[in-house]
Amino acid sequence: MLDYHKDDHDALTERFRKTLYYGKMPNTERPSLPLTDIAVELFQERAPRKLGKIDQYMVAAASRENCISPSTMMMGMIYTNRLRTKNPEYLQQISSSDLFLISMMMASKFMYDEGVDEEVFNDEWADSVDMETEEINQMEREFLSAIDWNLFVSDKEFKRCFITLKQG
């Protein structure tokens, strides 16, 4: 069974590399430009407030600092799409940069649960973006409430997101 999951992971990693130019860590400090551009566009569209507007530099820096994988980024994008239909009021109250940050943090927490080397801690995320831990904690509570604690992403949902990204 472990080999099956490793094969799936390897195949997905290869598809990310081919489609989004996201593979082995490049010599630059930025993640894949196509994926960064898609993230900036999506989060700006979902959370249209002008203050705290997300940009390529913020996505690249947060991705690098927090080791955000393409899978994590896709899950965060899925969460924002859920919020668009489930709780659009929340999206009017949060900046696109905060939405990106909290979506990525929650996706990371969901993917790398307790007991794994890549365990996710709020204080580390707060430090990485120069915020207070209590502010991150408050954002987390508000996000979970807004999304009704529904962080699970089905295979079908994930594949649909990947196909959408692939088509540009």
Beta-carbon-side half-sphere exposure of residue 121 (alpha carbons within 13 Å): 8
Q: Beta-carbon neighbour count of residue 153 at 10 Å?
A: 18
Tens of pLDDT, residue by residue over 59-74, are 777 777 777 778 888 8
Average pLDDT, the chain: 77
Please write the tens of the pLDDT for every residue from 136-149: 999 999 999 999 99
**Residue among 132, 140, 143, 50 at smallest CA distance from 96:** 50
With 70 as the cut, is the pLDDT of residue 113 above it? no
Buried b / exposed e over 86-116, threshold 16 CB at 10 Å, is: ebeebbeebbbbbbbbbbbbbbbbbbbeeee
- In the chain, which ranges are E strands? none
Whether the full predicted model's pTM is greater than 0.85, yes or no, is: no
Only one residue has tokens 């898609």, namely 38
CA terminus-to-terminus distance, the chain: 33
HSE at residue 149, side-chain half, CA atoms within 13 A, is 0
H/E stretch holding 130 reads: none
Is residue 10 over pLDDT 60? no
Share of the chain above pLDDT 70, in %: 71
- Which sign does the torsion angle of CA 53, 57, 63, 69 carry? positive
